[in-house]
Every structure is written in C-alpha cells, then in structure tokens.
Amino acid sequence: MRPPQTDDEVPAYWRALGLPGLVDTHVHVMPQRLLDRVWAYFDSAGPLVGRPWPITYRWPQEQRLRHLRALGVRAFPTLLYAHKPQMAASLNDWAREFAREQTAAGHRDVLQSATFFPEPGVADYVDRALRDGARVFKVHVQVGGFDPRDPALHQVWGMLADAQVPAVVHTGSGPTPGSFTGPGPFGDVLARHRDLPAVIAHMGMPEYDQFLDLATRYPRVHLDTTMVFVDFFGGAEAQSATARALAPRLHALRDRILLGSDFPNIPYAYAHQLEALDRVGLGPDWMRAVLWHNGARLFGLPA
C-alpha cells in the first residue's frame, strides 16, 4: 500500500485502509488577526523556531477548511492557546461560536476547543468552557512560558480529569527548550492528576523516550504525531532511523498514538505526515489505530 505523495492521494490512502476518514488531533483554527501574528512569528524564524519556516497553507480560512475536509479529516479541534493573561476567556468564546456556526452550516466535524493560562479566575472560565461544550483544551507551555505546576492550575487539571476532557499539551522541548518544558514539570502534574487525559503534542519531541515513559506509566496519557518523523527536521534518513529506534515502543502504545498534523502551519504538504508515519513500518493495523480508531475513541465519535 503506497503512502500518499500528494494531498490528492490522501483519500485513496485511508480508503485503502478501510477507514471512513481521518481524526486529526492537532489542527489550528483561530481569529485571523491572531493567526497572522503566529504566521509573522514563523516568517521571522524567531527563537522558538530558529530556522526558515514557510507556511504551506497560507490561505483564507474557508479555503483551509475546504481543503481539510477534502483530505477526509472527519473530526478536528480548533486549537487556540493563550500566551499571556486575560486572553484565554475571549479565545474560548470565539472557539465556542465558531463550532456552533460550523454545526449550523451542516459541518459536525469541529471539536469545540478551549484554552487556559495560570491567572486569577482561570477555574471559573474553564468551568464555563466545559459547561458550554468544550471537548478538548490546548495548553502551550513553551510559548506561554509558564510552569504547568503553577498552583493556579491545580484545580483546573483536576476539573479536566474529572470531566475526562483531554488537554493537548505542548510540553516537549522542541524546537527549542523553554523554562518549563521537558518531562519533569508535566510529569509532576500527571503524578498529582493520574486520570488526566493528556495528549502530549509532537510526541514530546525531542524527548520521545521520556514522554513515552509517562504514557507507559499513566494509562490516560496519549501522544500525537504532529511533525514527528518528517523530513523537515534533519532529512529522511535521520528521521527514518529515529522511527526505527522508537518502533517497538510505538507498537506497544499503539492504542494511544493519535494523528496530529499542525495544519495549516506546516512547512510541507499534509500528505507528508502520513508518509512519515507509514515508513515507521508498523503495518496497516497500527496505521488504522493512529489515523482513526484512537482519536474516535478519545473524542467519543459515533461509529
């Protein structure tokens, strides 16, 4: 089964696997003014990027959504994140209204998303987001520059654990380390909230083994594949070697690896993420689990 080389080939690939489509756990949809600032940062090759990073899908929002759906993505979040105080609540309101507008237009594929930041009132607006129907949260420890163990967040992590609503957390040290990245700080959060359904963004890149250790220790921890094993970081040969080294562990955790893409902010075609996962060499059943079944189970999608 040949992996897709272009986006046009993506639907044929998941159909050949016998899947109804893809569940992508790591998609960004946000107010355009905010997305423009994110893109400007990538354009500048800022310190959290450190290299040229051309945005492949620098398109208007409606075109991006049409393309995502044409690829066969049947469920996706709108991952927004707050990088400073007094931002998160308004972003949550925007995400709620976006999800409702899409549903009203006949699109039931948007997983209503929310975010938070360690600040006064955080538990109140997280509670409101949960009551309003948020199905996934995004937290960016690296960009936010905050400690996930901050006492202001103890109650929030507990609320998500109680509600069994997943949080996609960028806590790995890639592409550059932050003050509170790495497995240590978030590992302490998991030790305190053992039932937290966390999704480790980018599989914890580059600290793959340590974050796989956390997933082995805590059965509610998942890892997404965002930008994992793609040629952009070091070339195909180096990435294939990394994939082969991790393959036994990825096979053992096959029920908790989730497709993630970082669409639209990626510097290559969407199809390349699927190609990079296919060449791990763990076979069709593993790909089926990663591309559909694990995400469908986590988000409670109907069969």
What CATH code is assigned to 7-298?
3.20.20.140
Q: Are 29 and 61 in contact (CB under 8 A)?
A: yes
> Please, what is the angle between helix 236-252 and helix 208-217, to 10°?
10
pTM for the structure as a whole: 0.96
Strands (E), 27-182: 73-77, 110-111, 113-115, 136-140, 167-170
**CB 220 within 8 Å of CB 195:** yes
* pLDDT tens, N- to C-terminus, the chain (303 residues): 899 999 999 999 999 999 999 999 999 999 999 999 999 988 987 666 777 899 999 999 999 999 999 999 999 999 999 999 999 999 999 999 999 999 999 999 999 999 999 999 999 999 999 999 999 999 999 999 999 999 999 999 999 999 999 999 999 998 889 999 999 999 999 999 999 999 999 999 999 999 999 999 999 999 999 999 999 998 999 999 999 999 999 999 999 999 999 999 999 999 999 999 999 999 999 999 999 999 999 999 976
